């Protein structure tokens, strides 16, 4: 069986996945930016500024705690019911919770009830995003051709910088056309309410996507009795594929931590201790995200040529080196140097993020792929990205220096290098494995490339 769909088909699937993930990440990153700029003042106003920021990032981290639960639930049903149905549900949950945030009363209106409601909605966000990533990357990976899977599967990854780009752009525009008083009074609500419109667009596109051929092949194999029906994918993953889960978690550490230090902690550091206007930080993240968006597919394509491991390792080592230039460039307070620091950091991050979707997809068999990829990806999110802004802010507050923050990033890079070196090279494996729960097999020579 050929794994290659017609070029128009794969392009349509990639577009639907990219637009959907962009909307979901827009919602998630909108909270990240708001946590650094707005929520510390509107929902935690009784604390001193830096402590308020820590409390704000604590609610931000709670969203990451819910992500593994979302990964488990969506992974289980995604492996049993299909990728498409769960992708539609994740978009509805994410968009609905974000829209509701735009309607929340603040601490001044209802007191402690405001941060409680904010936290509950953040949990729903995290749960939805926990199921989103696995479905989005798998439906592309399982449609695509092994020879170009790194390239095609990297496009849903572009939803992260795309969503960040969109969220940061909206906030930057609002901060430019409004006074601080207007922004903190009502302007911050606008981007959250816009999520409702974006969800309608995303649903219209996602409902037109066809189900994954690898999943359909696995279902057919189960119905005909060729393979035994998988009753509990999560149990199989934890019993038989715990090594692959650990590899995915380790590979995520540097990628996830560095990203949130570059895009979230930067706003705290610039607007607080350095006293740089918030527009400078938002502009830097905006420009950096644009370059990030463009270069992620290039890194994915390079992994099709060189392998997933070499490209991933280059990104981890590159970030470990660059972080020691990143903070000194911010401390110049020069707008152009701040943009340069952010952009190069995100481009190096893309060397890990680009091959990641194909790499994680290729670690697991079809019947447990949604569960396996989601668990590895989302469990790492708790201790990596979920805590990164919190740890970075706490380290800076404790030591009054960014050197401990840089060493923290380097430590996660070391973990990632070890994990990737311990893994096997997965480039080119077949994802159509007749429902096998083991690792995917090598592709046949006659597979036709998608052009």
Kindly report the CATH number assigned to the domain that includes residue 99: 1.20.1250.20
Question: What are the angstrom distances between the C-alpha of 434 and each of 70, 130, 366, 427?
Answer: 27, 27, 8, 19
Q: Encode the chain (451 residues) as per-residue pLDDT tens digits.
A: 445 555 557 777 887 778 778 877 787 777 767 766 777 777 766 655 666 666 666 666 677 778 788 888 887 777 777 777 787 888 888 888 888 988 988 878 888 788 888 888 888 888 887 787 777 788 887 776 778 889 988 998 898 888 878 887 787 788 778 777 787 788 888 888 888 887 888 778 777 776 666 667 766 766 666 555 556 677 788 888 889 999 999 999 999 999 989 988 888 889 888 888 878 888 898 899 899 999 999 999 999 999 999 999 999 999 999 999 999 999 999 999 999 999 999 999 999 999 999 999 888 877 788 888 888 888 887 788 778 888 998 898 888 899 999 999 999 999 999 999 999 898 888 776 534 445 544 444 333 333 3
Per-residue pLDDT, 146: 79
Which pLDDT does position 222 carry in this prediction?
Answer: 64
CB count within 10 Å of CB 113 equals 12
Structure tokens belonging to residue 237: 């993953």
Amino acid 446: pLDDT: 33
Asked if 374 contacts 74 with a C-beta cutoff of 8 angstroms, the reply is yes
Non-local CB neighbours of 166 within 8 Å, separated by 6+ positions = 22, 26
Alpha-carbon distances of 261 from 59, 242, 250, 401, rounded to whole Å: 17, 29, 18, 14
Number of domains in the chain: 1
Domain span at residue 358 reads 7-422
Q: What is the pTM of this model?
A: 0.79
Question: Does any domain span residue 270?
Answer: yes
Q: Is residue 410 part of a domain?
A: yes
19 within domain boundaries: yes
Closest listed residue to residue 380, CA positions, set 250, 211, 283: 250
Listed in sequence order, the residues at least 6 apart from 225 whose beta carbon sits closer than 8 Å to its beta carbon are none
Does residue 74 fall inside a structural domain? yes
Which residues make Cβ contacts (< 8 Å) with residue 70, sequence separation at least 6?
90, 126, 127, 128, 129, 130, 131, 132, 374, 378
Asked if 296 and 157 count as a contact pair (C-beta separation under 8 A), the reply is yes
Rounded to whole angstroms, the Cα distance separating 235 from 229 reads 13
Domain presence at residue 443:
no
Q: What angle do CA 304, 307, 312 make, to 5 degrees?
A: 110
The DSSP string of 388-440 is HHHHHHHHHHHHSSSHHHHHHHHHHHHHHHHHHHHSPP-TT--S--TT-SSPP
The reported pLDDT for the residue numbered 55 is 64
Q: With respect to residue 450, please indicate whether it lies within any of the assigned structural domains.
A: no
Cα separation, 202 vs 64, in Å, equals: 23
What's the pLDDT score for residue 449?
35
Residue 94 lies in a domain: yes
On whether residue 427 sits in a domain, the answer given is no
């Amino acid at each position: 069986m050929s794994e290659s769909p017609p070029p128009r088909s794969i392009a349509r699937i990639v577009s639907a996945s990219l637009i959907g993930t962009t909307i979901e990440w827009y919602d998630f990153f909108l909270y990240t930016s708001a946590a650094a700029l707005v929520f510390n003042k509107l929902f935690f106003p009784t604390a001193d500024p830096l402590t308020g920021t820590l409390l704000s990032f604590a609610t931000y981290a709670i969203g990451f705690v819910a992500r593994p639960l979302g990964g488990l639930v969506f992974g289980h049903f995604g492996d049993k019911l299909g990728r498409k149905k769960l992708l539609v549900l994740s978009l509805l949950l994410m968009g609905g919770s974000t829209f509701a945030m735009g309607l929340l009363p603040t601490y001044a209106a209802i007191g402690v009830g405001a941060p409680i409601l904010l936290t509950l909605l953040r949990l729903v966000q995290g749960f939805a995003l926990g199921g989103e990533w696995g479905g989005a990357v798998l439906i592309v990976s399982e449609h695509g051709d092994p020879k170009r899977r790194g390239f095609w599967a990297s496009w849903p990854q572009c939803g992260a910088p795309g969503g960040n780009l969109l969220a940061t752009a909206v906030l930057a525009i609002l901060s430019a056309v409004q006074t601080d008083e207007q922004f903190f009074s009502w302007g911050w609500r606008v981007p959250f309410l816009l999520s409702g419109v974006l969800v309608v667009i995303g649903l219209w596109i996602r409902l037109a996507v066809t189900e994954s051929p690898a999943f359909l092949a696995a279902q057919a194999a189960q119905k005909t009795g060729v393979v035994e029906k998988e009753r509990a994918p999560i149990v199989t993953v934890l019993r038989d594929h715990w090594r692959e889960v650990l590899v995915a978690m380790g590979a995520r550490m540097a990628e996830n931590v560095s990203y949130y230090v570059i895009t979230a902690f930067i706003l705290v550091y610039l607007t607080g201790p350095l006293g740089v206007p918030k527009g400078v930080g938002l502009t830097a993240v905006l420009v950096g995200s644009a370059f990030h968006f463009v270069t992620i597919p290039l890194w994915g394509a390079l992994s099709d040529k060189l392998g997933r491991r070499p490209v991933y390792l280059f990104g981890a080592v590159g970030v470990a080196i660059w972080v020691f230039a990143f903070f000194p460039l911010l401390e110049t307070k020069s707008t152009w140097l701040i943009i340069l620091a952010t952009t190069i950091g995100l481009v190096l991050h893309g060397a890990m993020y680009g091959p990641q979707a194909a790499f994680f997809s290729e670690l697991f068999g079809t019947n447990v792929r949604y569960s396996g990829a989601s668990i590895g990806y989302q469990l790492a999110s708790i201790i990596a990205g979920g805590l990164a802004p919190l740890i970075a802010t706490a380290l800076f507050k404790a030591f009054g220096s960014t050197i401990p923050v840089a060493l923290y990033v380097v430590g996660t890079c070391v973990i990632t290098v070890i994990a990737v070196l311990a893994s096997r090279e997965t480039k080119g494996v077949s994802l159509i494995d007749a429902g096998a729960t083991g690792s995917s097999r090598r592709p046949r020579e006659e597979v036709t490339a998608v052009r």
